[in-house]
C-alpha cells in the first residue's frame, strides 16, 4: 500500500468515525428531549385530570408547559398543586 493510499484510508476512517460519533450524540440528545417531553406530557395529564374532576370539560382545558389551565382563567402562577 502506497503512502497516498494510506493517507486516504486514514482520512476516510476519521470521517466515518466522526459521523458515527455525531450520530451517537444526536441520538442521545433526541432521547433526552423525548424523555423530557414525555415527562411534561404526563404532568399535564395529571393537571387535566384534576380539572376534569372539578367539572371542567376537556375541550376547555389548555396545556401549557408542565401544567394546564381552563380557558378563560387568569394565570397568576404556572405551578400546579394537587390535593
Answering whether pTM is above 0.85, one says no
Q: How many domains does the chain have?
A: 1
Structural domain includes residue 79: no
**What tens digit of pLDDT does each residue of 9-31 get?**
999 999 999 999 999 999 999 99
75 lies in a domain? no
Decide if 80 contacts 50 (C-beta within 8 A): yes
19 occurs within a structural domain: yes
Answer yes or no: is 12 within a domain. Answer: yes
d(CA 68, CA 83): 15
Give strand ranges (E) for the chain.
61-64, 67-70
Please report where in the chains the cell 493517507 appears, as a residue.
Answer: 7
pLDDT > 70? residue 76: no
Does residue 82 form part of some domain?
no
CA trace torsion 36, 47, 60, 57 (10° rounding): 130
26 within a domain of the structure (yes/no): yes
In this predicted structure, the answer to whether residue 44 has a pLDDT above a threshold of 70 is yes
Domain extent at residue 23: 3-70
Amino acid at each position: 500500500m502506497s503512502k497516498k493510499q494510506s493517507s486516504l484510508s486514514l482520512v476516510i476512517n476519521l470521517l466515518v468515525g466522526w459521523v458515527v460519533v455525531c450520530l451517537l450524540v444526536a441520538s442521545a440528545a433526541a432521547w433526552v428531549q423525548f424523555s423530557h417531553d414525555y415527562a411534561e406530557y404526563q404532568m399535564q395529564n395529571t393537571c387535566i385530570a384534576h380539572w376534569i374532576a372539578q367539572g371542567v370539560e376537556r375541550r376547555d382545558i389548555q396545556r401549557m408547559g408542565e401544567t394546564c389551565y381552563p380557558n378563560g382563567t387568569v394565570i397568576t402562577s404556572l405551578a400546579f398543586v394537587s390535593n
